[in-house]
């Protein structure tokens, strides 16, 4: 409670609204510090941990099922891609434990050097080390190691923005001090993704940036203007090539385009319908036999829906829905603004990427090439997503 003081004349000094707000924030931070030290993690923490664990385990099982045919056709064992994914999951869990144990304020202090390093790494795809996969030059291959630096952009951007907006919470209406540097970081990150022909990543980065700005309390008119400009730029980017136009409009007439631009989605829909309510059984799906390209990565939800039916699909969608709901609860109950913004940014990252992936697979949205978080095959995606999940749990353990 804010104390009421007495002035020199004996009259009461009524604290201003600003002073009362500062006192409430100070008390909230103090309570949060005690929660982080003295209290056990809440049910919210364990619910998020369980959801992430179940989705990751399901992803490993489905990668084994969906990649076995591709692995054999490439001259390897049926377990080749699964063992790689298992290895990345192992390292991802170790990194997640690190992001969970290290105070998130320490991570935020590293925001600028981290962003600089990540931006530098994202220049590698344009070097001789870069390779093009599915039309996007977003990969780097060094010997037997292949990774996607753009995944690191999501992690670095959310750290940078939550730090600058969290530290300058009293300057949120100062365009130069808060909004401009946040927008500059977003423009750099999204611009790199678009230069790599990875519009899906640019959309996720935009979702992170605008959500964090909104949750921080930046003026809505600034956010709206920036979002409108982003939509215009994205539309212009799509219209620059006939391939982009056909790819982004194919979902409007999937049956009419099933022989060319919508072939993958059409086959995906047939496989999903084949699954019915209970599915055809683990490993018995036909989509992975070449009918649905990239069934082990971008279209792994198709294999889940076919082999486990509506039940398995509902489990996946329910898992992401639960993480999203609980993530925003963590954001609203976090002990400080930085923690709140961090939880909100990571939650939107997971939610937007899952919605875009599943929406593209079922034909409700354009196919962007985004992976399904925690589930799709891909070491870079799995490791960085688990690292972000560790940070979310870091904030969640301080919430009651």
Residues 234, 231: Cα–Cα separation, whole Å: 5
Q: What is the pTM of this model?
A: 0.85
Hunting for tokens 């399901």 — which residue is that?
58
pLDDT band at 242 (very low <50, low <70, confident <90, very high): low
Residues 46, 397: Cα–Cα separation, whole Å: 9
Q: pLDDT at residue 302 above 80?
A: yes
| Burial status of residue 95 (CB atoms within 10 A of its CB: 0-12, 13-18, 19 or more) | middle
R_g over Cα of the chain: 23
Structure letter (DSSP) for residue 286: S
Buried b (16+ CB within 10 A) or exposed e, 178-198: bbeebbebbbbbbebbbebbb
79-117 per-position pLDDT tens digit: 888 999 999 999 999 999 999 998 888 887 888 889 999
Q: Which pLDDT does position 391 carry in this prediction?
A: 94
Give residue 163's pLDDT: 86
Please give the mean pLDDT across all residues of the chain: 84
68 vs 59, 196, 269, 290, CA distance in Å? 14, 29, 21, 11
Question: Which are the contacts of 160, defined by CB distance < 8 A and separation ≥ 6?
Answer: 111, 112, 114, 115, 185
Average pLDDT score over residue span 278-296: 85
The first and second tokens of residue 379, run together, are: 């070491």
φ, ψ for residue 140, nearest 5 deg? -125, 135
Angle at 35 between CA 34 and CA 41, to 5 degrees: 155
């Amino acid at each position: 409670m804010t104390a009421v003081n007495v002035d020199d004349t004996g009259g009461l000094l009524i604290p201003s609204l600003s002073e009362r707000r500062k006192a409430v924030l100070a008390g909230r931070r103090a309570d949060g510090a005690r929660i982080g030290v003295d209290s056990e993690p809440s049910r919210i923490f364990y619910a998020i941990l369980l959801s992430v664990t179940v989705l990751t385990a399901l992803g490993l099982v489905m990668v084994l099922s969906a990649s076995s045919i591709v692995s054999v056709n490439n001259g390897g064992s049926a377990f080749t891609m699964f063992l790689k994914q298992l290895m990345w999951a192992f390292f991802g869990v170790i990194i997640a434990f690190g992001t969970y144990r290290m105070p998130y304020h320490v991570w935020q202090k590293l925001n600028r050097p981290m962003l600089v390093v990540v931006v530098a790494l994202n220049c590698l795809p344009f070097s001789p080390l870069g390779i093009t996969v599915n039309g996007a030059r977003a990969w780097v291959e060094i010997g037997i190691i292949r990774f996607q630096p753009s995944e690191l952009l999501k992690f670095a951007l959310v750290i940078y923005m939550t730090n600058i907006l969290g530290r300058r919470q009293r300057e949120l209406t100062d365009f130069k001090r808060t909004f401009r540097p946040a927008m500059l970081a977003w423009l750099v990150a999204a611009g790199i993704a678009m230069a790599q022909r990875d519009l899906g990543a640019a959309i996720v980065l935009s979702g992170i940036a605008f959500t964090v700005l909104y949750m921080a309390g930046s003026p809505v008119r600034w956010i709206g203007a920036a979002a409108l400009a982003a939509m215009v730029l994205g539309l212009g980017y799509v219209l620059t090539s006939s391939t982009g136009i056909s790819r982004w409009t194919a979902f409007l007439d999937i049956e009419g385009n099933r022989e060319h631009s919508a072939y993958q989605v059409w086959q995906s829909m047939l496989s999903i319908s084949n699954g019915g309510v209970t599915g055809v059984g683990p490993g018995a799906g036909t989509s992975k036999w070449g009918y649905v390209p990239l069934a082990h990565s971008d279209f792994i939800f198709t294999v889940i829906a076919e082999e486990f039916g509506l039940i398995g699909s509902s489990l996946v969608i329910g898992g992401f829905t639960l993480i999203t709901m609980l993530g925003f609860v963590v954001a609203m109950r976090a002990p400080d603004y930085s923690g709140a913004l961090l939880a909100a940014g990571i939650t939107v990252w997971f939610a937007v990427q899952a919605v875009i992936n599943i929406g593209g697979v079922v034909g409700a949205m354009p196919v962007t090439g985004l992976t399904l978080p925690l589930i799709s095959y891909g070491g870079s995606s799995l490791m960085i997503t688990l690292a972000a999940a560790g940070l979310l749990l870091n904030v969640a353990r301080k919430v009651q």
